[in-house]
């Protein structure tokens, strides 16, 4: 959802998380009704600060435990502001009673806590339903607690009420879909006067213990939880019925100004909770939800590797070479250039039974066979121990492009010099190796899968039965991918030298060949670790990398700044803004043709899922990582070959 111009009700909006959320919404151009029950002065002060940000803000007293008051609150919002798009349910209550002291809890305690923490959120949603549905994209975010998941908190009734609220979120999400999304954040301990009053003299000692327990070394602040709430509101329309834990999970994200969908954040939080994570997990500005693990993530691990985090497109990466050609040397019509490339490099996929896959070699050329010989000897040793990978396409895929987001492009830089750039990985054999070891990790951890936050995060511990085999196989696949790109580049340059209309030229020494789906041994913060980059490029100080845009957008050759907090990494591209299925639903052939105007490329329905609009804006992605890389060359494509 675009937050600017929307209208929100924030219950419990005068203090704590409610206040922080009201202010953050106002900063994004959203008008706010600041609800309060008893904290009138705080609510009026919050509303005044919101109004200073240029939006309409109204403090309004209503006890949300009272159904009539909920309905009046929504009615006033509708009459004063004419709409309601967002409901943030931050009001809550508890008593502070040790869990073992049953006799200190009264029935009134149970009733009051359940009424405010469970019944009141339902009443508010019921009262607001019509207005939220009328908005066309209504959003509800509940403030829950990790107490509802782990059973520790201020009192037993509080833990039980938050567990019930988590279930209510899922139930309401199903009942209100697709017109209204319902999600929740579940914080741990939050600094502020509420806990100070409840814990009294024990507050500082308890908070010190919290800081020692959580990975980030500090408890949450209201502003941290507000940021998570706004991420849910402004995130993917596909996320509903989710409870996002906010409990000091160590994630550092370079996502200012670019979308960071809640589903991707949840994936990263699951990874960050694993016991062998070194320091934190880094999210690049192209971060998005991925199968198995988050694309655009950097995962440093000590003594373990997660095969699904590396993925199945092992060693996928980029290669770019500058030629001695200038833009004026290119023919007016570039179809012949595209055709020459398509004829030189097998690409795409055909599934005809009994026929050869058009994306593979029938008979590999001599240089492919020569490159395969040392790879083949190593592969045979792997296949002897893991025969399931033997039947995968390997030799016949060496020097071939593949499908999906893999491409070959002819580009012009800021000086109108011609570059050839391509994107591919370890093809069918890498896919087979990845899938085999992902399933092997799950099998090896079968007894422990229930304790993992996600089954796909099954891992091999160093010294375990299959750890060394996986390291050997993934290293081999990365070498295959590197050779694959080098062979394709050689064949493309040879084809272009024979293409009609092009003068003789040479490739210069200005070239970059880098992985962005891989794992490597590195040294960070005084320790040797495995760094898995899934959709991320290593960006050591002075190291060159490539960050491609989409089919109709610019690409960038960059120089790393060696930022230690990102584990010397940067993004691997623009990053998808939506799924392939959503892109096919949303964009037409006319949209695609307009977005790729001036680029000699496919304009048919089979590449709609790769249209530029399916990706994040590359300029925003680059702006978000200015402390990670500097731009060396800016490339705009004039020819694009897709599989």
Q: Please, what sign has the CA dihedral across residues 3, 616, 428, 469?
A: negative
Nearest Cα to Cα of residue 28 among 70, 85, 78, 92:
85
List the domains of the chain with CATH numbers. Answer: 7-248 (3.40.50.720), 317-577+615-642 (3.90.1860.10)
Nearest Cα to Cα of residue 534 among 438, 421, 420, 632:
438
Say whether pLDDT at 561 is over 80: yes
Is 366 in a helix, a strand, or coil?
helix
Say whether pLDDT at 352 is over 80: no
pLDDT of residue 552: 79
Q: Which of 192-201, 277-286, 432-441 has the highest mean pLDDT?
A: 432-441
Per-residue H/E/C for 583-601: HHHHCCHHHHHHHCCCCEC
- What percentage of the chain carries pLDDT values higher than 90? 74
Say whether pLDDT at 370 is over 70: yes
- Count Cβ neighbours within 10 Å for each residue of 172-199 and write b for 16 or more, e otherwise: bbeebeeebbbbbbbbbbbbbebbeebb
Say whether pLDDT at 275 is over 80: no
**C-alpha atoms less than 13 angstroms from C-alpha of 643 in its C-beta half-sphere:** 22
Say whether pLDDT at 248 is over 70: no
pLDDT of residue 636: 95
Minimum mean pLDDT among 254-258, 397-401, 453-457, 535-539: which range? 453-457
Section 344-369 average pLDDT: 83
CA 478 to chain centre: 23
Say whether pLDDT at 453 is over 60: yes
Task: Read off the pLDDT of residues 599-626 as tens digits, 9 standing for 90 and up.
Answer: 999 999 999 999 999 999 999 999 999 9
Say whether pLDDT at 164 is over 90: yes
54 sits in the region (left: phi over 0; alpha: psi -120 to 50; else beta) called left
Q: What is the mean pLDDT of the chain?
A: 91
**Which is more confident, 633 or 349?**
633
Task: Read off the pLDDT of residues 454-476 as tens digits, 9 standing for 90 and up.
Answer: 888 999 999 988 999 999 999 99
Rounded to whole angstroms, the Cα distance separating 456 from 287 reads 18
- Using N-to-C axis directions, what is the helix angle for 427-444 and 467-498, rounded to 10°? 170
Task: Read off the pLDDT of residues 308-319 as tens digits, 9 standing for 90 and up.
Answer: 999 999 999 999
Rounded to whole angstroms, the Cα distance separating 55 from 75 reads 19
pLDDT band at residue 419 under the 50/70/90 scheme: very high
Rounded to whole angstroms, the Cα distance separating 488 from 76 reads 65
Minimum mean pLDDT among 153-162, 195-204, 329-338: which range? 195-204
572 noted as active-site residue: yes
Annotated catalytic residue, options 386, 572, 592, 633: 572
Say whether pLDDT at 214 is over 80: no
- Helix (H) / strand (E) element for 537: namely strand 536-538
Residues of the chain by 3-state class (helix, strand, coil), percent to 5: 45, 25, 35
Are β-strands 281-288 and 251-253 bridged in parallel, bridged antiparallel, or unpaired? parallel
């Amino acid at each position: 959802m675009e937050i600017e111009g929307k209208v929100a009700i924030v219950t419990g909006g005068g203090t704590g998380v409610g206040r922080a959320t009201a202010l953050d919404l106002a900063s994004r151009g959203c008008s706010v009704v600041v609800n309060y029950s008893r904290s009138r002065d705080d609510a009026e002060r919050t509303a005044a600060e919101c109004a200073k940000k240029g939006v309409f803000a109204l403090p309004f007293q209503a006890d949300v435990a009272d159904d009539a008051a909920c309905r009046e609150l929504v009615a006033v919002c509708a009459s004063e502001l004419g709409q309601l798009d967002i409901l943030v349910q931050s009001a809550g209550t508890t008593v502070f009673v040790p869990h073992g002291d049953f006799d200190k809890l009264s029935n009134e305690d149970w009733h009051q806590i359940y009424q405010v923490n469970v019944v009141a959120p339902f009443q508010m949603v019921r009262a607001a339903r019509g207005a939220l549905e009328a908005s066309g994209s209504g959003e509800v975010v509940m403030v829950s607690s990790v107490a509802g998941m782990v059973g520790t908190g201020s009192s037993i009734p509080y833990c039980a009420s938050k567990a019930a609220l988590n279930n209510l979120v899922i139930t309401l999400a199903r009942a209100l879909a697709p017109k209204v999304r319902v999600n929740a954040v579940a914080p741990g301990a939050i600094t502020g006067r509420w806990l100070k009053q409840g814990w009294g003299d024990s507050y500082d000692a308890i908070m010190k213990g919290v800081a020692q327990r959580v990975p980030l070394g500090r408890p949450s602040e209201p502003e941290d939880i507000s940021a998570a709430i706004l991420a849910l509101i402004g995130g993917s329309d596909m996320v509903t019925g989710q409870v996002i834990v906010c409990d000091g999970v160590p994630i550092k994200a370079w996502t200012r100004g670019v979308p960071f969908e809640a589903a991707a954040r949840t994936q990263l939080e699951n990874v960050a909770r694993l016991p062998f994570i070194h320091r934190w997990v880094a999210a690049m500005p192209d971060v998005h939800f991925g199968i198995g693990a988050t694309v655009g993530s950097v995962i440093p691990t000590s003594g373990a590797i997660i095969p699904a985090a590396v993925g199945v497109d092992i060693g996928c990466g980029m290669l770019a070479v500058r030629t001695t050609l200038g833009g004026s040397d290119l023919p007016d019509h570039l179809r012949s250039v595209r055709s020459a490339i398509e004829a030189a490099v097998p690409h795409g996929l055909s599934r005809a039974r009994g026929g050869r896959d058009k994306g593979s070699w029938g008979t590999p050329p001599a240089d492919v066979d020569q490159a395969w010989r040392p790879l083949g000897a190593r592969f045979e040793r792997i296949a002897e121990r893991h025969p399931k990978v033997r039947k995968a396409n390997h030799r016949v895929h060496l020097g071939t492009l593949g499908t999906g987001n893999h491409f070959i492009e002819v580009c012009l830089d800021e000086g109108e010099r011609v570059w050839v750039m391509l994107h591919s990985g370890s093809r069918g054999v890498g896919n087979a190796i990845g899938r085999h070891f992902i399933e092997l990790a799950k099998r090896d951890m079968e007894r422990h899968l229930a304790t993992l936050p996600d089954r796909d995060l099954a891992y091999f511990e160093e010294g375990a039965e299959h750890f060394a085999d996986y390291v050997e196989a993934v290293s081999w696949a990365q070498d295959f991918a590197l050779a694959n790109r080098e062979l394709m580049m050689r064949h493309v340059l040879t084809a272009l030298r024979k293409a009609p209309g092009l003068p003789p030229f040479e490739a210069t020494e200005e070239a970059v060949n880098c992985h962005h789906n891989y794992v490597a041994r590195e040294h960070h913060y005084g320790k040797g670790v495995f760094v898995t980059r899934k959709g991320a490029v290593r960006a050591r100080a002075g190291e060159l990398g490539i960050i491609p845009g989409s089919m109709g957008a610019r690409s960038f050759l960059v120089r790393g700044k060696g930022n230690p907090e990102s584990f010397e990494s940067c993004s691997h591209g623009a990053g998808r803004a939506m799924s392939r299925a959503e892109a096919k639903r949303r964009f037409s052939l006319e949209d695609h043709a307009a977005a790729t105007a001036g680029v000699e490329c496919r304009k048919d329905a089979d590449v709609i899922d790769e249209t530029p609009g399916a990706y994040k804006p590359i300029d925003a992605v680059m702006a978000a990582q200015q402390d990670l890389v500097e731009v060396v060359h800016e490339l705009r494509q004039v020819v694009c070959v897709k599989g």
